[in-house]
């Protein structure tokens, strides 16, 4: 028996391939799915089964893509009318050599959520592991806010799924969730990516809320963001996404060609580091440092709109392309060849964003200087501690709340480290704010230096 | 916290790197240790600690090599006077960010064996996993036959280490042993490479022997092979092995140059498949198909003797070289450029080994034909079922038992699949046996076809 | 200015990418054309032009594929009514930065053949290199036998193209032909892959025939083989081949599944080495060692027929798949997982082919033993020297000439080294010949040992 | 026969491996020489000969390293008392299969310079190519300023070597020089990397100076820079450099550890892009964008001094390490893990460098504003056109000429594109200049926009 975890960085999405004796099953595949076929072949196996633990909201699921490449069958919960695949019910089992996969219906995160129990029948029929999708994470549980007005119901369902179905599998059972730390699908997920039912039972903070009402109460009070691209994902993952095979990575463009496309409406995504963007950027471009693209691009980019990329190095094009395609952005038609060097050596206009150290921010606050400290972290982070006088607008909601930001004074963007803050700074500049600075280091630097924090 | 398992195929050796916040520890590194540095760097970490769970017998431990490349400190059990590193005692702890490693003394396999308990202190001080070395495997336990005359004592120690120290850590604890299936260090190790203390407690066959005397009785009766190269490993791993850095992969030789070296005493190892060897081989060469080199070369090859390789493809040279260096064979000075094509197109003599189907073997047995069916599997496999009339000599002991094989009739070598049998066939040919055949398929084919088996 | 040669092994096909300042042109691309895009991107360039020197016969040209991926325009000679692309005439020029490409009409190999003269206009308009397609090779010239009855005409045209158009470009001009040594498109092509017009003028043996009639006389007498798949290539390369993008590498099959497909008509291609095939093979399979697939598969395989592969190692599947797709074989639906080990351990029948040393062949000839020595080399090689009494049938024509091979005695297949001979041996076995042997080493071994050769 | 060119980017160093029938020779190997062994093995060859065309000044030659790995013999001109290898004389020949290498003594660049004539004896003894070292380049010839006071003599020798020895080889001969465009060893080398003797005879601008005195006059007037590290190279390449095998890539350091090393005297090299450096940098660090390291680091860095790296991405560490080792900088002991993110999130001080567009520079000039426009290009570039009022100091000589730069006003660094200017800016900041700006785009932007240029 082999089992491998395939991680999609940025999305913090975890998928799995498990198999034996020439057959393999994939759980929650991503869209760029050659990786599963490669693993299978190294194991001398063919992918015959694909399981979706639920209709995903945060990425394009690759079931259809993988099925078309392998001929595998797709299975998912039957409580949702998927336009493809086969519905499965509690207790159904699938055998692949010594691998036995058994369905548990575990609603709560969504109504059709299933978990899949793994046994190694060469040893025992006893559970060995469980694929829990977005029901139970390492250090957290799934969010239950997707059905407005039904939060109590779904939270109760989640409680029962966990306490009545998953924990009873036994302390010795490996836990295989669909997300790791950094996912928008869970706030408190551990940085560690391995755990057992027993370890979670004992140490997952939410699972200490054994009382059903307390659990529901806690869940209902949680605050989660919901980026606009979720809508598209929901459609794609219900009906099947367009095939990826036909997509082409964009060709290089020189400054003239790139600029022409901008004039024709192409939006520009700059995936360089915060420092590089700050040092020189193409006016009108949106900054999202490469590794943040999967988690943040969905807040700002319209999948239907033509997009051009600015990169530090040509090798980033393929990565940005893959990251964007995973969240359904398929219209990338250009990248700026040789990056900013091409731009500046052609005499094109560029701009800079001043960086400012937290020491200076603190001084300004102390001296009551007239400026806006714009904290763009999540509301949960903000509540857990912020600088005095900070204005809070979550980075993902900034474009809709620009009127709250005064235009007559300096705006200093601020976040956990300066990364989300550069996104915010680029949005403000794009929207005509003139005096924008980024606090590189931000809250992390405050913590290291011991700034005065309000709670 | 990150944790990665690094597997050395063939040896079925498992090593681990675990770390957090810029620091990493490696448990039981192999000799070609760049892989640990690469993983560490991807995690932004430096390797600061190296642990040896015990003095290994079956491969050259890479502690000294890795320490010289990283400056990390080496730790091992104090019950053996290692010439390098630092002894550690029960209860000592090491912190690397949220990683806490705690020493358990778990003698039995060897006297100085330690296990290392992992906790994630960002969640709890409760154990999360345990590195058990050769004490507890998945589906098996460590062998206790290394100290002749002390088998009862060591088996008792092993029992206590497992039942009094490891199992009490809790069902929820991940198990990280140093070997997987196929190792000479354990016969019944599962093909699966992940488990928990709880799963083993319930389903590991040996752990069902909870009664101490039954456990000891069972262990004392076990039969294990001990290849001659273990001696060298024991010396290397006590005193420190020669540095690997200075080793060079061998250069290509044409047939003339290769042949000249053979005349000067170079032994020839042919790592091609059993079929390719059977189809044409250089007289006097030893066949060990590439993936079997780590597990079998140590029975036949003297580490001090000059060796030349014959490969199917040039890419196998590096792999063979690495495999051999892991078990201390560092004197490889040539490979035959372009493989057998070079040899045969220069008009050099070559030989073939007829392959024979099990159907024909069975017919011969039925008709009481005069031939020797030489079964070279382990004694345990032989006892679990063999063909009528088979002569048993373990492949690893064949060279010392040639006088038991009649030279006046056909010898048909036989094993589990025909792979070990080709090794045996090459040895017989090298030793002047004239009529040697290999039963490709061997016991596996018998099982598939339903031959008459004796037990 | 950058210029890279892309070689397709086996076909000995040479294609080129040349460019400057963000633009690139490709000459005679192959079907799997990502390599050109990769080179272009490393140079920060987009492929804007594709040139075909002529309608190729020996491989699927990748123009349409590459154009669909890049948007580049396709150009070729206008003397043939291609169903795609644009015809070009003598003297037309194309500029890509300092790269100037100028068309020369150079008929002879085919009527629409063009050569493309390269200049570096940053230095001079003087020619720097010339892409000659199949008109002029290094050490040879193009074949002129494609238009039966017109050999004298085409040979004359070729003479004029070379002597009146190419040589006058100047001794200093680099020569970039479309084929290297081993191609079916030229017999005497040098093993070296770089030359100049001047070096060829002085040292290419055919170019010493400066007299037009002598040249024609020489060309008309040449003998070339023409594998059946050329027909399909001619159609594909006139009309455009099916897109490659939709092709999938085949999945692994176990012995049972593979065998079932064989029963349903799947033909089996074994790409392992001659020795491995000789050692054990699946009855009914055709042997073509992997690196010979591009040059020889087209003689034996019907592109419309379902095919299964037997490989030494899984990594060969992709390579075999690519090799076959380059010559239009797209229907590969399976490979035998784990290769022959899978087959023999399931108890399936396998066969062997005895190998025989040239010494023994010579002895048999000397003692006038009753056997057939079947020399399957080309007629040119045969005429240049062969063993006494050998029967000559070219390997590519063996299937159509089986009645010439006596079935009542041993057949010993023989070629240059034993590689083409194993193909022949596999064909004979497939066709029911019972006593077939392969002379590993063949003519090369004869040469090394000094056998008696007839001329 | 095979011949491959191995290029070392940045140094624009070209080396070659040529061979046949199992043997290979390398011409002017670099220090990290596994690449030659890899090419040789792919060709089934062993490296048996190493040639140095002359004692190199601009990189550490890898002859000793390669010889120690392969056992090959080293050959060079005898006019210099090398402490290793064997001197060769005019007319000596070496045969490797059909490869014939023949020595020509071609002094001028240095006294012991040799060229090596290649013939393919399977075709003819006529020259096919020539390895010219630093004697003749594509579009330029070697510099002759290394022996102060002897410029006329060496220039005359160079003339004779080229006109009396190289050109007579014939127009058809391939030219294989040791440097391409961008090398400090020749100013006017073409961007193209392939040429012939005939093409150079006709189109190389310097070779149009057929008159010996005119040629000498031209050469003597040339101006070349000579970075300080040349001294070390000369010693290394006369006596043999320390072995590379023992070097280790540096481990990651967190901000605290890195900072501590800086306090202990470690110098800091920042290899990120000009924009990223401008956006935020560690005070006191030297900026050299990665691809400029080979060509510029030798001006500023003392090979004996401990060095730490700041990178955009961890993958740059190995590349920077290799680049530095090629010019003899072996003491790199740290890199900043996670780059600037680590630094700023720990609250460490960082600085920025304002970028300024050429439009603004021109306006300032027009309005006679009080600032220093510091043009750090080479004197040749400066003379070929510069902005009015610019102060010229070559970037490589800036540290020695700081007193020429006024400290009481803004300094705007300026070069061809803004890359060398960021080096200069970082030096000025390091030396306490307070108001330093970098003109991103610089002369290239001027050219694109049409600024007023003085000549």
D286 contacts D427 by C-beta, under 8 angstroms: yes
Q: Where are the alpha helices (DSSP H) in A309-373?
A: 315-326, 339-345, 358-366
Partner chains of A (3+ C-beta pairs under 8 Å): B, C, D
CA distances in angstroms from A214 to A206, B426, D363, listed in the order given: 10, 72, 69
Cα-to-chain-centroid distance, residue C281:
26
- Short-list A172, A178, A347, A170, CA closest to A256: A347
A286 contacts A430 by C-beta, under 8 angstroms: yes
Structure tokens at C86: 């644009």
Which of C45, C70, C337 is closest, CB to CB, to A22? C337
C435 contacts C409 by C-beta, under 8 angstroms: yes
Structure tokens at C9: 């092994």
Strand residues in C162-262 grouped as ranges (E):
174-177, 195-196, 252-253
Interface test with C, best of D192, D195, D197, D448 (most C CBs within 10 A): D192
> Which residues of chain D neighbour A273 with C-beta distances below 8 Å?
276, 279, 312, 339-341
CA distance A354 to B38: 36
Q: Which CATH number describes the domain made up of A247-345?
A: 3.40.250.10
Burial class (CB in 10 A: 0-12, 13-18, 19+), B280: buried
CA distances in angstroms from B401 to B392, B393, B396, B413, listed in the order given: 10, 7, 10, 14
Instruction: Assign B120 to helix, strand or coil.
Output: strand
Please check the confidence at residue D246 and state whether its pLDDT lies above 70.
no
Ordered DSSP codes for C50-98: EEESS--SSS-B-HHHHHHHH--EEEEETTS--SSSEEE-TT-EEEETT
> Which residues of chain D neighbour B22 with C-beta distances below 8 Å?
252, 254, 337
Contact D1 C120 (CB under 8 A): no
Cα-to-chain-centroid distance, residue A235:
17
CA distance D175 to D195: 6
CA distance C110 to C94: 23
Q: How close is the nearest chain D Cα to the Cα of C41, in Å?
A: 17
Beta strand pairing call for D73-77 and B73-77: unpaired
Nearest CA in chain A to C254: A22
Beta strand pairing call for C99-105 and C93-96: antiparallel
Please check the confidence at residue B185 and state whether its pLDDT lies above 80.
no
- Short-list C134, C65, C11, C60, CA closest to C327: C60
Handedness of CA D355, D361, D367, D369 (dihedral sign): positive
Residues from B contacting D (CB-CB < 8 Å) are 22, 41-42, 44-46, 69-71, 245-246, 248, 251-254, 314, 317, 337-338
Give the full edge-to-edge strand order of the sheet including D23-27: D2-8, D13-20, D23-27, D46-52, D73-77, D86-88
How many CA atoms within 13 Å lie on the side-chain side of D377?
22
Q: How close is the nearest chain B Cα to the Cα of C408, in Å?
A: 23
Structure tokens at C256: 């049972």
Instruction: Assign D400 to helix, strand or coil.
Output: helix
CA distances in angstroms from D412 to C124, D373, D389, D416, D434, listed in the order given: 38, 5, 12, 13, 11
Partner chains of B (3+ C-beta pairs under 8 Å): A, C, D
The proportion of chain D whose per-residue pLDDT surpasses 90, expressed as a percent, equals 93
Least confident of A384-388, B227-231, C166-170, D186-190: D186-190
Q: Which residues pair with B387 in a beta bridge?
A: none
D271 contacts D295 by C-beta, under 8 angstroms: no
Give the full edge-to-edge strand order of the sheet including C252-253: C252-253, C332-336, C307-310, C267-270, C286-287
Q: Quick one: which H or E segment has residue D300?
A: helix D293-300
Q: List the Cα angle B178/B181/B187 in 5-degree steps.
A: 95
Beta strand pairing call for D114-120 and D127-133: antiparallel
Over residues B245-266, the mean pLDDT reads 91
Structure tokens at A50: 């694909």
Same fold? C2-238, C358-449: no
Q: Which residues pair with B61 in a beta bridge?
A: B30
Contact D44 B246 (CB under 8 A): no
Give the full edge-to-edge strand order of the sheet including D127-133: D93-96, D99-105, D114-120, D127-133, D174-177, D195-196
pLDDT at C246: 65
- Short-list A112, A156, A113, CA closest to A135: A113
Contact B252 D337 (CB under 8 A): no
Structure tokens at A101: 């996969």
Instruction: Assign B81 to helix, strand or coil.
Output: coil
CA distance A27 to A23: 14
pLDDT digits (tens, 9 = 90+) for D139-164: 999 999 999 999 999 999 999 999 99
Structure tokens at D58: 């601009």
Nearest CA in chain C to A247: C69
pLDDT digits (tens, 9 = 90+) for B205-223: 999 999 999 999 999 999 9
Please check the confidence at residue D443 and state whether its pLDDT lies above 90.
yes
pLDDT at A246: 65
CA distances in angstroms from D90 to A22, D26, D102, D125, D385, listed in the order given: 66, 19, 8, 17, 45
D46 contacts B248 by C-beta, under 8 angstroms: no
Instruction: Assign A153 to helix, strand or coil.
Output: helix
Contact C252 A41 (CB under 8 A): yes
D26 contacts D46 by C-beta, under 8 angstroms: no
pLDDT at B246: 65
pLDDT at B407: 96
CA distance A346 to A324: 29
Mean pLDDT of chain B: 95
pLDDT at C374: 98
Q: How close is the nearest chain C Cα to the Cα of D262, in Å?
A: 36
What number of C-beta contacts closer than 8 Å exist between B and D? 43
How many CA atoms within 13 Å lie on the side-chain side of D436?
23
CA distance D307 to D264: 11
Burial class (CB in 10 A: 0-12, 13-18, 19+), B416: buried
Report the length, in residues, of chain C. Answer: 455
Helices (H) and strands (E) in chain D, counts: 15, 21
Q: With bands split at pLDDT 50, 70 and 90, how would you rate the model's confidence at D393?
A: very high
Nearest CA in chain B to C442: B345
CA distance A277 to A280: 5
CA distance C47 to C16: 12
Which of D280, D345, D445 is closest, CB to CB, to A346? D445
Ordered DSSP codes for B314-339: THHHHHHHHHHHHTT---EEEEETTH
Q: Quick one: which H or E segment has residue C444?
A: helix C442-449
A359 contacts A443 by C-beta, under 8 angstroms: no
How many CA atoms within 13 Å lie on the side-chain side of B383?
5
Contact C345 B277 (CB under 8 A): no
pLDDT digits (tens, 9 = 90+) for D186-232: 778 999 999 999 999 999 999 999 999 999 999 999 999 999 999 99
- Short-list D90, D85, D140, D137, CA closest to D116: D90
Which of A41, A42, A314 is closest, CB to CB, to C41? A314
Does the C358-449 domain belong in CATH 3.40.50.80? no
Interface test with C, best of B9, B344, B453 (most C CBs within 10 A): B344
CA distance B82 to B237: 8
Nearest CA in chain C to A37: C251
Q: How close is the nearest chain B Cα to the Cα of D29, in Å?
A: 18
Which residue positions in chain A have pLDDT lower than 70?
246
Does the A2-238 domain belong in CATH 3.60.15.10? yes
| Cβ neighbours of D42 (radius 10 Å) | 12
- Short-list D451, D431, D433, CA closest to D441: D451
The proportion of chain D whose per-residue pLDDT surpasses 70, expressed as a percent, equals 100
CA distance B56 to A101: 38
CA distance B159 to B152: 10
> Which residues of chain A neighbour C246 with C-beta distances below 8 Å?
245
Q: With bands split at pLDDT 50, 70 and 90, how would you rate the model's confidence at B244?
A: confident
> What are the structural domain ranges in chain B?
2-238, 247-345, 358-449
Structure tokens at B404: 């038991």
CA distance C31 to C25: 16
Structure tokens at A201: 């039972």
> Which residues of chain B neighbour C352 with C-beta distances below 8 Å?
278-279, 354-355
Q: Which residues pair with A27 in a beta bridge?
A: A16, A51
> Which residues of chain C neighbour D139 with C-beta distances below 8 Å?
123
Q: Which residues pair with B7 in a beta bridge?
A: B14
Structure tokens at B436: 């040697």
> Which residues of chain D neighbour B67 with C-beta distances below 8 Å?
none
Q: How close is the nearest chain C Cα to the Cα of D296, in Å?
A: 23
Partner chains of C (3+ C-beta pairs under 8 Å): A, B, D
């Amino acid at each position: 028996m082999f089992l491998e975890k395939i991680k999609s960085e940025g999305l913090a999405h975890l998928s799995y391939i498990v198999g034996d004796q020439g057959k393999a099953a994939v759980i929650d595949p991503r869209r760029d799915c050659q990786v599963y076929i490669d693993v299978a072949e190294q194991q001398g196996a063919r992918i015959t089964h694909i399981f979706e633990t639920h209709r995903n909201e945060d990425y394009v699921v690759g079931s259809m893509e993988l099925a078309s490449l392998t001929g595998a069958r797709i299975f998912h919960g039957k409580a949702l009318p998927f336009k493809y695949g086969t519905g499965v019910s509690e207790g159904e089992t699938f055998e692949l050599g010594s691998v036995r996969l058994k369905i548990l219906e575990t609603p709560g995160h969504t109504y059709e959520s299933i978990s899949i129990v793994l046994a190694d029948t060469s040893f025992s029929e006893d559970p060995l592991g469980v694929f829990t999708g977005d029901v139970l994470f390492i250090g957290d549980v799934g969010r239950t806010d997707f059905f407005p007005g039904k939060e109590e119901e779904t939270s109760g369902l989640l409680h029962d799924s966990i306490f009545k179905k998953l924990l009873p599998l036994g302390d010795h059972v490996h836990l295989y969730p669909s997300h790791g730390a950094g996912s928008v699908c869970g706030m408190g997920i551990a940085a560690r990516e391995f755990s057992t039912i027993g370890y979670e039972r004992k140490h997952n903070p939410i699972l200490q809320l054994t009382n059903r009402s307390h659990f529901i109460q806690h869940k209902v009070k949680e605050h989660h963001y919901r980026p606009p691209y979720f809508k598209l994902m929901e459609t794609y993952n219900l009906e099947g996404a367009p095939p990826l095979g036909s997509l082409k990575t964009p060709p290089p463009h020189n400054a003239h060609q790139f600029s022409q496309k901008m004039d024709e409406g192409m939006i520009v995504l700059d995936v360089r580091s915060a420092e590089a963007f700050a040092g020189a950027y193409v006016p009108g471009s949106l900054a999202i440092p490469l590794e943040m693209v999967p988690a943040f691009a969905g807040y700002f980019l319209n999948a239907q709109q033509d997009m051009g990329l600015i990169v530090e190095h040509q090798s980033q094009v393929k990565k940005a392309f893959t990251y964007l395609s995973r969240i359904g952005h398929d219209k990338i038609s250009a990248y700026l060849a040789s990056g900013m060097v091409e731009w500046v050596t052609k005499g094109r206009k560029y701009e800079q964003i001043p960086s400012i150290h937290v020491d200076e921010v603190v001084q300004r606050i102390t001296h009551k200087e007239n400026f806006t400290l714009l904290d763009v972290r999540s509301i949960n982070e903000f509540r857990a501690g912020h600088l005095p006088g900070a204005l809070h607008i979550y980075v993902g909601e900034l474009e809709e709340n620009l009127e709250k930001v005064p235009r007559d004074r300096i705006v200093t963007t601020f976040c956990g480290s300066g990364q989300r803050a550069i996104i915010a700074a680029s949005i403000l500049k794009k929207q005509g704010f003139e005096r924008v600075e980024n606090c590189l280091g931000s809250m992390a630097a405050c913590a290291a230096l011991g700034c005065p924090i309000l709670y």
